[in-house]
Every structure is written in C-alpha cells, then in structure tokens.
Amino acid sequence: MAQLKITRVAQSKYDSVNWDDLKFGYYFSDHMFVSDYADGKWNEGEIMPYGPMQVEPTLCTLHYGQTVFEGLKAFRAKNGGANIFRPIMNARRLVRSSEMVCIPPYNPEKMVQDICELVKVENKWIPSQYGQSLYIRPLIYGTGNFLGVHPSKTYRNIVMCSPVGAYYKEGINPVKIKVEDVYSRAVKGGLGAAKTAANYAASLYAGTQAQANGYAQVLWLDAISREVIDEVGAMNIMFLMKDELITPSLEHGTILAGVTRDSVLHIAKDWGVKVSERNISIDEIHDAYKSGRLKEVFGTGTAAVISPVGMLTYKGEDLIINDGKIGEFSQKLYDTITGIQYGEIEDKYGWNVHVEF
C-alpha cells in the first residue's frame, strides 16, 4: 500500500472531551480518512482534519439515500497498542451493502489498511477505561448532484472515529424491549440485510414511540405474518432455551449479518452449546416463557456487545426474563468477547488486528 498523505490538525479537540462521561457517538476525533470514486475507480485516499464538508442542495444522497455505513471498534490492548475487532468482516459486509444500493465496492483489504492507519494517527483518542473504546464509522455515499432516480457516478468514502462508552444507558444491565406487532422495518427481498440509511430510517418511528414508553428498543417481527422474529432495532437477538441457543436465520435477507452475532455463535459452539439458526415465532417464545424453558434473552451488536433483555412486552403482556437480571450465560459471553477485544484473553480465533503506535 502506498503511504497515505496525512494532514494534521493545527489544534486538537482532545482536551474538550469529558472523558468521565463518554456518551455514545457524541465526540469525534481530530482526523478522518477520505477517498473519492470517479472515472470508475477509487483513489488512494488521505487522512485529513475532521470537519464540515460543503455539499450542494441537489446532492443525490440527500434525495435518494444512496449510502451505506459500518461500525466497528478499536480497544486499548492490555499489553500496549490497540486491537481492532474483526475489521475484515465489517469491510466485506460493507461491500455486500454497497451492492444492494448500486455503490461500487471498496476493496475490503484496503479498507482494513486505511482503518489501521487512521487508528495509528488517532491513538490517543482510544479511551483507557474498561467498557470504553474507539468507535470507527466507515461511510460511503453518492456525491453526484442531480434530481432523478438513478445511481450516482461519483462517491466518497469517509472513515471517522468517536471515543465511546456504553451504547445503552443501562450498560450491561438488562433492557426492556417492546415486541412491535404493528409497524414493519424490512421485507424479504428488501434492504433489511444492508447497513444503509433507509433500513434505519424505517425503524425510527416505532423505536421513538417505544422509547417514549420506557423501552430501550423494539423487537421486529416479519412484515407478512407478524409472527416470525427478525431482530432488535440496533442488534441481533438470541434466546437461550434450556441448553439450546436460538437466533433467527439470515436466509430471508431481512436482518443484518452481525459481527458480534457471528462471534457469539462461534464461541457458543466451542463451549459445546447446541446452536440453532432458524425461524422462531413470538408464540414459541411466549410458550417457552410460560413453561419455564426460556432462560435468557440478549441482543448482540458492535455498539453494546451483549445487551441482556430483562423484559419483553408483547401485546400488553410483560415477560420478565431471568427475574430481570443478567444471566450467567450472557455475562460469560460478554466477559469472553470483551476479554478478547482488550487482549486479556487469548485470541485463539485470530479475530483482532493489532496496531502498534
């Protein structure tokens, strides 16, 4: 890889950050990576100061939503440097998302190299407290200026960084989830499996209504029968029934192929747990709850890692999971994954990309 051009800020924002209260996605580091696509290819890109970018009112992405993004994290490693958790998986998923909205693919290996170089430049922005990290957000969007429903001919890839704490105010404590049986987020053959703006815009209305009533998120059901479970707004969902871990299948293309989801399934299989990726209905969950077979429910995602669910509300009925407390299995998964991320547990899967400063 050619040496990236680096233009550093004249004055850092570092001292303006309240490091004792890191809200998720609130602070942004000094620099960002930028690469542009034109004439059929991506340029090498460069690292430059983070800041506003001028756009025209006719920017096609503002009108037609041709944009995709990713989310991953860098962790301050126990023995020095930083660990970036499974970046190649995020980079490859970005390509899949891009294909679904007609954005030319950005080379995954190049994306990982770009991220590593940016993390080296921004290394002081990686928080030192356990539970905190440097959130990394790649974003690609159409930069053409026109009115008309067709793909742009030019694009921009930006990678930005944000020092973050817990995604949910509850942290690792169990959250309350409302099962959404009126509104829909995604359908088979749609954009549910793509990390694109439209996918998240479709979740906002039901999500804000749920939050106004004290819930952290909604659990989406399929758009046709309103019976089969898809995922939570910002994470995949898993159910521990007796000794079996069950999570919705990816086969319908309505849910995101989560990196943490994949990590949990790998680890659970290694522990000898029976793992099932299949259709699961809300009625099956309700029956398992009534019979005492439903032991734990938790979400998985980059932002929260493991988010235990203490209560599911379905059609006005509250299902209290594990007495509203974090389960032993959920806690063990959280400790294992974060242990790997911070370099406190052996990374036998080779998931971390280590960066020295």
pLDDT tens per residue, range 148-170: 999 999 999 999 999 998 887 76
- What does the pLDDT look like over 212-269, one tens digit per residue? 999 999 999 999 999 999 999 889 999 999 989 999 999 999 999 999 999 999 999 9
Best CA proximity match to 255, nearest among 286, 227, 220: 220
Cα torsion 92, 94, 95, 97 to 10°: value is 130
Mean pLDDT (the chain) is: 96
User: How far lies 200's CA from each of 68, 191, 261, in Å?
Assistant: 11, 10, 19
- CB distance 216 to 223 below 8 Å: no
Confidence (pLDDT) at 232: 94
Strand duo 133-142 + 67-69: pairing: antiparallel
1 versus 229: which is more confidently predicted? 229
Confidence (pLDDT) at 325: 95
Banded model confidence at residue 270, pLDDT cuts 50, 70, 90? very high
**pLDDT over 90, % of the chain:** 94
Structure tokens at 120: 């080296």
CA–CA dist 13, 148 (Å, integer): 40
- CB distance 235 to 304 below 8 Å: yes
Phi and psi torsions of 337, nearest 5°: -65, -45
Banded model confidence at residue 348, pLDDT cuts 50, 70, 90? very high
Confidence (pLDDT) at 234: 85
Confidence (pLDDT) at 3: 86
Mean pLDDT of 61-75: 98
Confidence (pLDDT) at 170: 66
Cα torsion 90, 204, 311, 283 to 10°: value is -90
Looking at domain 175-326, its CATH class is alpha beta
The CATH code belonging to domain 5-165 is 3.30.470.10
Using H for helix, E for strand and C for coil, what is the string for the chain? CCCCEECCCCCCCHHHCCCCCCCCCCCCCCEEEEEEEECCEECCCEEEECCCCCCCCCEHHHHHCCEEECCEEEEECCCCCEEEECHHHHHHHHHHHHHHCCCCCCCHHHHHHHHHHHHHHCHHHCCCCCCCEEEEEEEEEECCECCCCCCCCCEEEEEEEEEECCCCCCCCCCEEEEEECCCCCCCCCCCCCCCEHHHHHHHHHHHHHHHHCCCCEEEEECCCCCCEEEEECCEEEEEEECCEEEECCCCCCCCCCCHHHHHHHHHHHHCCCEEEECCCEHHHHHHHHHHCCEEEEEEEECCCEEEEEEEEEECCEEEECHHHCCCHHHHHHHHHHHHHHCCCCCCCCCCEEEECC
Q: Which residues pair with 221 in a beta bridge?
A: 229
Phi and psi torsions of 28, nearest 5°: -130, 145
Confidence (pLDDT) at 295: 97
Confidence (pLDDT) at 233: 85
- What does the pLDDT look like over 103-146, one tens digit per residue? 999 999 999 999 999 999 999 999 999 999 999 999 999 999 99
**pLDDT over 70, % of the chain:** 99
Ordered by start, the domain boundaries in the chain are 5-165, 175-326
